[in-house]
Every structure is written in C-alpha cells, then in structure tokens.
C-alpha cells in the first residue's frame, strides 16, 4: 500500500462545515500488512462525507476483542480483514461536517455510532432486525474505522450522546450494547443468572444484569482478577471454571440450576458446563463465539432439558441503544472497574500489550 506523506493543510470537506476547517490528512491506525500488529500513519487522507454521511472528529476509542484478533492476525482476521483498512469501531467524538442531505444532526454535536451498517433493504432490515440484515458492513472490519482522528458515518448509524454520559463511557457503548442486548433478551428480572466467561462483555453483563433486577448472579472464569471484579460488580459467587465441582454447588444454591445462562466465553468447555448447570426449562442466551465447530450434546442440553436458546448478535437497532442510555442515566451501572486504562493513541502498542497480558481489561485510547 502507498502511504501519502504530504503535509496536512486545512481544506473545506463539505459545504456544511460551519466555521470549522478540516485538515486534508490525519493520524490513523491501519492494517499495514498481512501479519501481526498495526501501524500509525501520520498522513492518512481525511474521509470525505457523502450526501447522507457525517464526518466526526474522534475524541476517544475503545480497543475490543475484534481489534485484538486483527492485531494478532489470527485465522479469522486473515480470512476477513482487508490489508490497508483503518481499524476500530468503538468511539465518541464531535460532528465537524455534514453531508448535503443530512437533516438530523448539527455540527459540534457529541456522538457515537452503531458500527453495524445496514443497507436498509431486505426483510430483516425492514422488520426490526437490521442488526442481522443481509448486506451488513461492519465499521473497522469491512470499511475504514475509528482508530483515527476523523471517521465518516452514515446519518442513520449516528447516536447522539447524552450530556451526562462521560467520554470514556461513551467510547465503549458498542460492547456495552452487546451486554445489554444479551441480558435484556434473556429476561433476568427476579431470576438466578449464570454468566460463563467474565471478559470485558461478561463483566459488563454482571453490572447490567444486576441493574435489570437479577435475583442472584453467579459467574465462572479462569482469571482470578476478573472473578474478583465480578464479585465487586455484584456476583454472589465467582467460580474457577477449571474446578467442575462448581456445577453441583450452584445447583444446591438454586432450584437445580440457574434460570438463565448468559454465555460470554465462546469456549466449548464453558458452553458445555453452562448447559449442564442450566435448570430444566431454563433460558440460554449465547454471545460468545467459538473459534471453530465443536461437538455439542444437543439431546441432553437442549431437547430433553426443554431449554430455550437465544443467539445474540450485536445490538438491536436501536432498541438496545435506548435501553443502554436509560440504564446509564439511572446511575446503576458500574463501568469504572472494567475500564482499567486510558492511554494516548500514540501508545497503541502498549494498549494491545495490556489486553494480551491480562493486566488491562477495557483499554480506552485518547485520540484528540
């Protein structure tokens, strides 16, 4: 890929920029080769918004598991990510330019965005299931993302951020929305809830489930630090998943198992144990993604157990976003124990190291 090295000069990107001048180039993290890591380009071209797009000056971004896959260049990333793409899909920023047909937003408005971009056509897109519509394009995966000073987003995907929500929280609405979607679809109010896997989204699910009225929350993981944070967030029991005696203990604490399983790990062993623990007639909501197909006891775990199984993908557009905002404004969510580090984007390599080592949980980078 050829990288532009011209000096940044202020230019007008669109007629609707108010008094704002926008440089022609910007800093951006991009996938520079078919291999590990990312590279910082100091002279990336600023995107030009189309008629129904907004241009956003990015303030903060979150590093997520998808970004780590891209950084490490695993089999999934190698099969999906185009070399040369600007990565990242979690952010908050301010609108600096409007396409000529944009009517809903104003320059200066603080916003985030739904990173699943639907064409708006087809059955699912037109019946309330745009998050699983055909032709879906994902920010930072299929098109240039937000690990940059500027990002271009379709008007339909922009989400205005309430003034009471701080930037470091607004930068991670995307994964929080995954947790909210999973919890709300499962229906946890007055229920005993088991969460298998308390990584970033699993920990978010703990505080969301508590805020949504779960009776008691039980969690499993193999990381003592994350198990301790889960207790801090409201879990009554935090089990080491490697000791299978936890299943019998949980059954004794409940009516032969939890009412609800929220599966966040994606590990075959976690999925199997979670379904073993689930009470007959219980509900399982699955967000974790296994790295490859595996053998699963459908007969005993689902059919004979009479379990209700829900597959969860992304966030409902935009029901989940309204639910998320309501929960944040209620003051009942605890996210600061999960957002462990905030660093400048120039130190991006350190951010990924923190995630890989387990020292960091949710890492937020300051862009500008």
Contacts of 344 (CB under 8 A, 6+ apart): 365, 366
Copy the structure tokens of residue 170.
């607004």
How many residues make up the chain in this entry? 368
Rounded CA separation 21/55 (Å): 12
Helices and strands, number each (H, E), in the chain: 11, 19
Q: Tell me if residue 107 falls in helix, strand or coil.
A: coil
Rounded CA separation 11/326 (Å): 39
Contacts of 51 (CB under 8 A, 6+ apart): 99, 100, 101, 102
Q: How far is CA 117 from the centre of its chain?
A: 14
Contacts of 302 (CB under 8 A, 6+ apart): 275, 309
Q: Is 301 a catalytic residue?
A: no
DSSP lists the bridge partners of residue 113 as 158
Which of 25, 66, 182, 320 is flagged as catalytic?
A: 66
End-to-end CA distance of the chain: 26
The CA R_g of the chain, rounded to the nearest whole Å, is 21
Residue 58 phi/psi, 5° resolution? -80, 135
Q: Is 69 a catalytic residue?
A: yes
Copy the structure tokens of residue 352.
């990924």
CA-to-CA separations, 80 to 28, 117, 140, 211, in angstroms, rounded: 20, 16, 11, 36
User: What is the three-state SS of 295-350?
Assistant: CCCHHHHHHCCCCEEEECCCCCCCHHHHHHHHHHHHCCCCCCCCEEEEEEHHHHHH
Which of 20, 25, 69, 182 is flagged as catalytic?
A: 69
Residues with a known catalytic role:
66, 69
């Amino acid at each position: 890929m050829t990288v532009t090295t011209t000096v940044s000069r202020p230019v007008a990107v669109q007629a609707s920029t108010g008094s704002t001048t926008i440089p022609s180039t910007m800093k951006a993290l991009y996938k520079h080769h078919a291999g590990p890591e990312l590279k910082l380009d100091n002279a990336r071209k600023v995107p030009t918004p189309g008629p129904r797009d907004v241009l956003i000056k990015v303030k903060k971004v979150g590093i997520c598991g998808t970004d780590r896959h891209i950084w490490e260049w695993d089999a999934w990333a190698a099969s999906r990510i185009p070399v040369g793409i600007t990565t990242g899909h979690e952010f908050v920023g301010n609108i600096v330019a409007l396409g000529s047909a944009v009517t809903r937003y104003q320059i200066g408005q603080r916003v985030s965005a739904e990173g699943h971009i639907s064409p708006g056509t087809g059955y699912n897109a037109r019946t309330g299931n745009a998050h699983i519509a055909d032709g879906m394009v994902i920010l930072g995966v299929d098109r240039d993302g937000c690990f940059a000073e500027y990002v271009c987003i379709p008007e339909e995907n922009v989400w205005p951020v309430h003034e009471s929500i701080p930037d470091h929280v607004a930068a991670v609405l995307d994964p929080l929305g995954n947790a909210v979607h999973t919890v709300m679809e499962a229906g946890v109010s007055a229920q005993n809830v088991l969460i298998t896997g308390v990584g970033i989204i699993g920990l978010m699910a703990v505080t969301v489930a508590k805020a949504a009225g779960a009776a008691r929350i039980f969690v499993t993981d193999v990381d003592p630090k994350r198990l301790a944070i889960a207790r801090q967030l409201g879990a009554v029991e935090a089990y080491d998943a490697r000791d299978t005696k936890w299943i019998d203990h949980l059954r004794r604490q409940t009516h032969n198992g939890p009412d609800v399983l929220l599966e966040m790990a994606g590990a075959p062993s976690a999925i199997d144990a979670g379904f073993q623990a689930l009470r007959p007639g219980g509900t399982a909501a699955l967000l974790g993604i296994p790295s490859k197909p595996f053998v699963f006891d459908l007969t005993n775990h689902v059919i004979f157990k009479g379990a209700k199984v829900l597959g969860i993908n992304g966030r409902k557009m935009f029901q989940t976003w309204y639910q998320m905002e309501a929960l944040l404004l209620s003051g009942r969510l605890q996210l600061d124990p999960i957002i462990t580090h905030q660093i400048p984007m120039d130190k991006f390599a350190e951010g990924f190291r923190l995630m890989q080592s387990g020292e960091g949980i949710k890492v937020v980078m300051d862009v500008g």
